[in-house]
Chains A and B, each alone.
Chain A
Amino acid sequence: MDINICITGAAGDGVKEAGELCAKLFSELGYYAFVYQEYQSRIRGGHNASIVRVSDKPVHSHRKYYDLLVCLEDYVYRIHEPYVRGDIIYDTKFSCEKGGIGIPMTEIVKEANEPMIFRNAASLGAIAAYYSIDFGVLEDVFVRTFGEKAKDDVVISKAAYDHFLEHHQAKMSVERVGERREVVAGSKAIAEGLIAAGLEYYYAYPMTPASPILHYIIKKRRDIIAYQPESEIAAVNMAIGSAFAGKRSATGTSGGGFALMSESIGMAGMAEVPLLIIEAQRVGPSTGMATYHAQDDLNFVLYPSHGEFPLVVASPYTIEDAYKLSAELMNLAWKYQTPAILLTDKHLVESLQTAELHGAEIEETEIVRSSDGVMKRYELTESGVSRYAVPPAIAKFNSNEHTEYGITTDSAEVRKAMHDKRVRKEKLILEDVRGKGYVEYFKGKEAVVTWGSTFGALYEVVEELGYRLIVIRYLRPLVLPELEKAKVVECNRTGQLAGLLESRGVRVERVLKWDGRPFTPEELREVLG
């Protein structure tokens, strides 16, 4: 089984939640699901869509064409109608030009005396009926999601469910295929990965699409201090301050906010402070398209600040990997006392998927907490790593070039030795990540290379098209797979990963998309087939 359902309406219609609940409905029966959320940067009106892909095999992407369109507004219908390859369920508050299955959602909600956002519950009732899923399953989903407050949803969805079965034929019968699966948002996976790796402080200034990470941590974990300060500059410096005081901390933002953090990233490099930044890309430059997807910050994030210093940049390719990788980066930041950046994207952070989160854990590092007199915080060591020390140990951190004791200096000799010491860490980091730098799938004649969430759609088509697939996880240090030539697939206009591979001698062919929407398998089949 493989179905692709699009639920669409205006902002304020609860389309996002409907998509999540729809995925939960099928995952309750043991199916795999993936939800792509497309929405505009506005609070009411406009158009929102949740595309829910359900399958009995693991899925990492949505499809372009819909087997079922659930439509809550007539003008939105017109936008999505070209992609319908199956049925349409619509609210009879408007008449659907193409016909379809009308459900009086507005009337049902009015009768129950609830606000119009409850039409999303009605639409779920209709979906459950369309696939002849026992109503009890949907009820369980509501109760598990909303607890006590689920009552109103249950009443409304039941009315829509009954109406459907009285007037229409179910399309097919979806049977249970296994145990319930968890539906996880990318933002949650990242947050949980950080927490598993010992996060205690999270500072972030709201910016789509990174905000859900902040929301999640604030709401779910009362033992963590998560706070919204006055700006991204404040956020990153608070994170550095907390790390200086010995606590694992992080910050998260998108391109514009990351630009503001730039100077502080260099400071963390110079002062050798463990700093973890989540950079969730959206369409740029500048404010770009706030709620749309892109992978066009790679070049910037690889070199975010002036001067030379060791930096780790890595990008998760699935929601499950996001959990693992955010923990990996937190641990690396502490092990090597240097900034690390999790470079992700809107499509990964805001999508949902049935996933099991495992493989993240805290790797403790030694921290000196007391000293007799001033210690050699920046002791010149063979590896380049000195002992990390926090107050009340008398450790002096410095954003200026400094001696082993942390005293400002412009001595040529000391500068050279200190700079070498810091950069020496790069070699260790490379050795550390060598085995995790990229992931390979299938044995094909030619290689297709990608990064980040673009993996999802690509994974579905490469095997049938006879390619070998390589997903890069660590972008800096880059662990280069053995390659002479490759097709590089990514969501930007110039081919930034392609450029990186080219600079390492790989002959590349670029397969790019930059319209703010992620690739679908259909599109890739066309360009790669």
Chain B
Amino acid sequence: MSSILKEIEWCPGCGNFGIFKAFRNAVKRLGKDGIEKGRIVVVAGIGCHGKLPDYIDQPSFHTIHGRVLPMLTGIKLANPDLLPVGFSGDGDALNEGMEHFIHAAKRNTDVALFLHNNEVFGLTTGQFTATTPKGRRTRTTPFGNPEDPVNPCLLALISGATFVARGYAGNIKQLEELMYRAILHRGFSFLEILQPCVSFNNTWDLLRENVHEVSPAESFDDALRLVMDRFATGVLFKTEKETFEEILHKNRV
């Protein structure tokens, strides 16, 4: 908890608590590796997830809805020594921010994006998002969501992300490990976090029963199959590729 803030404003039981705890542990671990806190720069979008910067003592930018990734890109380009980490919601990254998501992955921008996927708009009180399952009733789909959901890991994979992982807000130990590895990964790291929203999409039971750990895919084709299992957690795919920032800085004379 931050030294300058005493109260956390998430609903008791919200998945965000686990995510927050895992991140703090990951930062501590990076600190033990000699990475100073000031280098891990946090950008968050708008939504319940977006309150996270208030709770940490790190450089941060609580930006506007959907724009986490272009800001992370601008930061990394301006100072490649920093480790930019983005926190975004399914609404933030995949509704308003969809164009940036695909492009950041395509460029292999060397940043990490942590997606709080609670399959719903939390802060605006329960409307459907790009990841809400088909048929689900929400405040704006009272007769059932007519759209098929986006699979964030599949989208990241086919867009060119070089690190694709999935975690679960209820498994803090694993989440910490995934965050740690995502931050250190050179290239675009995408981590989907299955997050219950106790107020509008309480999936604790569903997740507890179904999530399971898998080992990383051996090939891209393998990864395509792996990401289709919505409850598979762990690093799903990992590869190495020159990053966007490396190429642009190399071209600089």
Contact = CB atoms under 8 A, between A and B. Distances in A.
B225 interface: no
Contacts of A374: 2-4, 57
B68 to A, nearest CB: 9
Given A225-B252, A241-B74, A408-B51, A394 B59 contact: yes
A222 B59 contact: no
Given A234-B99, A238-B74, A242-B78, A394 B38 contact: yes
Contacts of B151: none
A239 B74 contact: yes
Contacts of A239: 74
A177 interface: no
A398 B3 CA distance: 18
A396 B38 CA distance: 11
Contacts of A240: 63, 71, 74
Contacts of B248: 225, 227
B14 interface: no
A230 B61 CA distance: 21
A393 B36 CA distance: 11
Contacts of B212: none
A391 B63 contact: no
Given A242-B75, A373-B57, A408-B54, A267 B64 contact: yes
Interface in B67-88: 67, 70-75, 77-79, 82
Given A223-B253, A374-B3, A238 B71 contact: yes
Nearest to A377: B59
Contacts of A373: 3, 57
A243 B78 CA distance: 8
Interface stretch (A108-116, A168-176, A399-407): A399-407
B57 A244 contact: no
A233 interface: yes
Given A374-B4, A399-B63, A222 B251 contact: yes
Interface string A241-271: 1111111010000000000000110010001
B103 interface: yes
B74 A395 contact: no
B154 interface: no
Contacts of A396: 53-54, 59-62
B37 interface: yes
A232 B5 CA distance: 35
Contacts of B252: 222-225
Contact of A249 (B37, B51, B62, B78): B78
B48 to A, nearest CB: 12
Contact of A238 (B37, B60, B73, B249): B73
Contacts of B75: 241-242, 244-245, 391
A241 B54 contact: no
Contacts of B243: none
Contacts of A391: 38-39, 41, 59, 75, 79, 82
A529 interface: no
B100 interface: yes
A203 interface: yes
A245 B248 CA distance: 17
Nearest to B53: A396
B57 A229 contact: no
A245 B78 contact: yes
A267 B79 CA distance: 21
Q: How large is the interface on B (under 10, 10 to 19, 20 to 34, 35 or more residues)?
A: 35 or more
Contacts of B99: 230-231, 233-234
Nearest to A267: B64
A490 B151 CA distance: 53
A408 B46 CA distance: 12
Contacts of A238: 70-71, 73-74, 77
B58 interface: yes
Interface string A156-194: 000000000000000000000000000000000000000
Interface string B1-40: 0111100000000000000000000000000000011110
A399 B4 CA distance: 18
A31 interface: no
A237 interface: yes
Contact of B103 (A230, A247, A267, A405): A230
B70 A201 contact: no
Contacts of A299: none
A249 B3 CA distance: 33
B71 A222 contact: no
Nearest to B55: A407
A449 to B, nearest CB: 37
Given A223-B252, A234-B103, A397 B78 contact: no
Interface string B223-244: 0000000000000000000000
Contacts of A267: 63-64
B62 A237 contact: no
B141 to A, nearest CB: 26
Contact of A237 (B38, B39, B54, B67): B67
Contact of A241 (B3, B37, B59, B73): B73
B37 A394 contact: yes
A95 interface: no
A72 B58 CA distance: 64
A136 interface: no
A408 B123 CA distance: 15
B100 A234 contact: yes
Nearest to A400: B62
B4 A405 contact: yes
Interface in B84-120: 99-100, 103
A399 B62 contact: yes
A392 interface: yes
B79 A237 contact: no
A205 B75 CA distance: 18
Contact of B64 (A263, A371, A393): A263
A405 to B, nearest CB: 5
Nearest to B62: A398
A264 B59 contact: no
A241 B60 contact: no
Nearest to B80: A245
A370 interface: yes
Contacts of A263: 64
A369 to B, nearest CB: 9
14 contacts: A224-B252, A225-B248, A230-B103, A235-B70, A237-B74, A241-B78, A244-B75, A244-B78, A245-B79, A247-B79, A263-B64, A395-B59, A396-B53, A405-B4
Given A231-B99, A244-B71, 11 more contacts: A223-B253, A234-B70, A234-B99, A237-B67, A237-B71, A245-B74, A249-B74, A249-B78, A373-B3, A390-B59, A391-B79
* 8 cross-chain pairs, A with B, having the tightest CB-CB distances, nearest first: A241-B74, A392-B38, A238-B74, A391-B59, A245-B78, A237-B70, A242-B78, A222-B253
Interface of B: 2-5, 36-39, 41, 43, 46, 51, 53-54, 57-64, 67, 70-75, 77-79, 82, 99-100, 103, 248-249, 251-253
